């Protein structure tokens, strides 16, 4: 049986020499590889793939070299040439339609409803009879009062003749005169009660509600009907105190209704409140409009458009052309093929446009499409040029 040999480790000095030899061989091999010339084919392939020569800084072809052999490609934009023009500011107030006049008809006496001559939703004329309340009974009372008055009048006239002949004492003539006067008053009261029994329409209107039926007993002051004059309607709005100075009685305004979105109406300011509401500091204003064909109804939501400002010869730009920056609002102009940044001060806005107080002038070309893709002095390509008309159309 053979005994296994024990492995002896190399001496440290011999191990260090061996490692140094391996490193020297690796360095020499790498140096030989670096000195090998790069193939022409690989260089051309790299140039085609990246679009730049080998060893050229990344992005040089895109940004252009110092000698200008590879210019930058401009961002496509649309521009608008600015002009000055007049414009007006309009404010829209939301309200609701009210009838021109509303009348609540109540009974002036108590009695039984004998007849009615109107229906809900119907039209009635001023002075037309709506109902009769105990008219028959009151007619008989009136006839009785008339007979008593006629008798008392005849008695007085006879006594007057006798008194002239001194055939009756003066006191008897005075009594007959008093009886005649009392009966005349009773007749007038009977006629007045009879007139109250015939309920008439105080205005020409449309019947909103009918609250009585034939045969019912009504009390004095009981609601009989509600009448609405809707030949004209009134849009009631509330105008803040800062805008009330722009409202004038008789001034025409534009009105639109949610119920008829395809229609536009013209109204006239009919009344302006003399005192502001203490809670919201607004003034009640009513605008009257004609209700032709009775197509409009009280209670509809109305939007009243009122002119609250007028400006002459101002520069206006599209609101979307303005960019927000930390230092303020800026726009970009198109000048000599590049984008020029310009800080602006803005005023009031209207219909997607904004007033420019400073920073721009007429004749300048503002970028309105593509402004988010450019920076200061960035090259641009103008695809379309627009010019403002006097009414703001482009």
Alpha-carbon distances, residue 235 vs 29, 91, 144, 263, 308 (angstroms): 97, 15, 52, 16, 18
Residue 135: which of 205, 79, 191 has the closest Cα? 191
Gap between the Cα atoms of 230 and 121, Å rounded:
12
208 and 132 in a single domain? The answer is yes
Give the pLDDT confidence of 138-172 residue by residue, as tens digits. 999 999 999 999 999 999 999 999 999 888 899 99
- Pairing assessment for the beta strands 353-358 and 365-369 based on DSSP bridges: unpaired
Question: How many C-beta atoms surround the C-beta of residue 219 within 10 A?
Answer: 10
114 and 214 in a single domain? The answer is yes
Give the pLDDT confidence of 233-277 residue by residue, as tens digits. 999 999 999 889 889 999 999 999 999 999 999 999 999 999 998
316 and 298 in a single domain? The answer is no
Confidence band for 369, pLDDT divided at 50, 70 and 90:
very high
Residues in the chain: 394
Q: Domain end: 288, 309, 330, which one? A: 309
Give the pLDDT confidence of 307-360 residue by residue, as tens digits. 888 889 989 999 999 999 988 999 999 999 999 999 999 988 888 899 999 999
Q: Is residue 173 part of a domain?
A: yes
State the CATH number of the domain containing residue 209: 1.10.287.470
Q: Is residue 392 part of a domain?
A: no
Average pLDDT on 177-198 reads 96
Residue 134: is its pLDDT beyond 70? yes
141 and 211 in a single domain? The answer is yes
Tokens of 44: 């051309």
Q: Is residue 373 part of a domain?
A: yes
Query: Among all chains, which residue has been given the structure tokens 């198109």?
Result: 334
Three-state SS at 215: coil
For 25, the enclosing helix (H) or strand (E) is: helix 12-34
80 and 128 in a single domain? The answer is no
Tokens of 209: 């509600």
Residues near 241 by beta carbon (within 8 Å), at least 6 away in sequence: 276, 281, 282, 283
Gap between the Cα atoms of 188 and 48, Å rounded:
118
Q: Specify whether the CB–CB gap between 365 and 334 falls below 8 A.
A: yes
Q: Is residue 362 part of a domain?
A: yes
274 and 338 in a single domain? The answer is no
The pLDDT > 90 percentage for the chain reads 63
Alpha helices in 236-386 (DSSP H): none
Q: Is residue 36 part of a domain?
A: yes
Q: Specify whether the CB–CB gap between 343 and 329 falls below 8 A.
A: yes
Question: pTM for this structure?
Answer: 0.62
If one counts the domains in the chain, the total is 4
Domain hosting residue 266, numbered range: 229-309
Q: Which DSSP string corresponds to 101-159?
A: EEEEEE-SS-EEEEEE---TT-EE-TT-EEEEESHHHHHHHHHHHHHHHHHHHHHHHHH
Q: Distance of alpha carbon 98 from its chain centroid, rounded? A: 18
Q: Is residue 69 part of a domain?
A: no
Q: Specify whether the CB–CB gap between 272 and 247 falls below 8 A.
A: yes
């Amino acid at each position: 049986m053979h005994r296994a040999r024990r492995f002896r480790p190399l001496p440290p000095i011999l191990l260090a020499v061996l490692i140094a030899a391996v490193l020297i061989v690796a360095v020499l091999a790498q140096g030989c590889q670096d000195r090998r010339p790069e193939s022409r084919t690989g260089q051309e392939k790299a140039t085609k793939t990246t679009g730049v020569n080998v060893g050229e800084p990344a992005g040089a072809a895109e940004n252009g070299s110092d000698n200008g052999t590879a210019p930058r490609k401009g961002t496509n934009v649309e521009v608008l040439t600015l002009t000055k023009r007049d414009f007006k500011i309009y404010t829209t107030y939301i309200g609701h339609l009210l009838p021109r006049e509303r009348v609540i008809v109540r009974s002036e006496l108590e009695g039984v409803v004998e007849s009615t001559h109107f229906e809900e939703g119907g039209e009635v004329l001023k002075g037309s009879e709506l109902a009769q309340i105990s008219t028959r009974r009151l007619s008989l009372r009136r006839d009785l009062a008339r007979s008593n008055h006629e008798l008392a009048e005849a008695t007085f006239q006879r006594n007057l003749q006798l008194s002239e002949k001194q055939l009756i004492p003066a006191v008897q003539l005075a009594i007959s005169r008093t009886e005649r006067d009392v009966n005349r008053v009773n007749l007038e009261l009977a006629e007045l009660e009879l007139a109250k029994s015939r309920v008439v329409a105080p205005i020409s209107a449309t019947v909103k509600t009918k609250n009585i039926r034939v045969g019912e007993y009504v009390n004095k002051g009981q609601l009989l009907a509600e009448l609405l004059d809707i030949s004209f309607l009134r849009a009631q709005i509330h105008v803040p105190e800062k805008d009330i100075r722009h409202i004038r009685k008789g001034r025409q305004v534009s009105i639109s209704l949610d119920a008829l979105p395809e229609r536009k109406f013209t109204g006239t300011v009919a009344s302006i409140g003399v005192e502001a509401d203490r809670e919201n500091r607004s003034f009640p204003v009513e605008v009257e409009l004609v209700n032709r064909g009775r197509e409009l109804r009280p209670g509809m939501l109305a939007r009243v458009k009122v002119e609250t400002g007028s400006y002459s010869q101002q520069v206006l730009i599209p609101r979307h052309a303005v960019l927000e920056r930390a230092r303020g609002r800026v726009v970009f102009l198109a000048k000599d093929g590049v984008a020029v940044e310009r800080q602006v001060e803005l005023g009031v806005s209207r219909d997607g446009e904004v007033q420019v107080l400073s920073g721009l002038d007429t004749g300048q070309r503002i970028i309105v499409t593509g402004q988010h893709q450019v920076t200061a002095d960035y090259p641009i390509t103008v695809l379309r040029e627009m010019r403002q008309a006097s009414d703001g159309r482009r």
